[in-house]
Amino acid sequence: MRELAQRIIDNCSGRAMLGVEAGTILMECIDDSVGDYVEIGSAVGGSAIMAGMAMDKTERPGTVFCIDPFGGGNELDGIDMMLRLFWNNLLKFDLQQRVIAFKQCHPPFPMPIWYHTFSVGLIDGCHTGNSPLIDFRQLNKRVTKYLLFDNTEKEDVLTAIKKATQDNSNWEEYKSIEYESTWKEDKIIKFVVLRRKH
């Protein structure tokens, strides 16, 4: 899985968000579960590609759902460059049929998947204020096995994880790693995986 994560990072246009170590863990969680994957925060599609490629590698059914505002438009032609990069990256890995993207800010959770459940979820949206906690609350009852958090070095993301794993919680910390940022030198990113207890 590590080699596959590195290949994805090396071949994505724009900056891939997850590092090799975090991408490897994401793919291992996908490999250890059955069902769909959801992420809040997709940017140029690196993590969505990792999830889709892990599903392809194990030849199992599943859909990758992405929720992101995909900001970064071009005023001259009205084209959203972030969304274009996202789809171009998916095309490089022939994953366009496995991914459904919702171009919106979160919350609210997209209505077409309001009652849907997912085996694995990733929270990598806005890292400040109440946003990480709101994202957790939206995925808490929708994710059945693994809930991943990127950028847990940020205080508001860490607060959401602490609330997610408090007494009588259905979640426990499963793995935690640090990795070097793929786009900022000397920046260490923290990545945490929670596993559902029952």
Residue 61's domain is classified under what CATH number? 3.40.50.150
Contact 42, 86 (CB under 8 A): yes
Number of domains in the chain: 1
Q: Which of 62-76, 130-144, 182-196 has the highest mean pLDDT?
A: 130-144
Query: Any idea what the Cα angle at residue 72 is, between residues 89 and 188, rounded to 5°?
Result: 70
Contact 19, 180 (CB under 8 A): yes
- pTM value is 0.92
Beta strands in 15-117 (DSSP E): 37-40, 64-68, 99-103
Q: How many CB atoms lie within 10 A of CB 126?
A: 19
Model confidence band, residue 78 (pLDDT cutoffs 50, 70, 90) = low
Q: Is the peptide bond before 69 cis (omega within 30 degrees of 0)?
A: no
Residues pairing with 40 in the sheet: 67, 123
Tokens of 133: 């906690």
Tens digits of residue pLDDT in 170-184: 999 999 999 887 666
Please, which residues have CB within 8 angstroms of residue 129's CB and are 6 or more apart in sequence?
Answer: 156
Which residue range(s) make up the domain with 76? 2-196
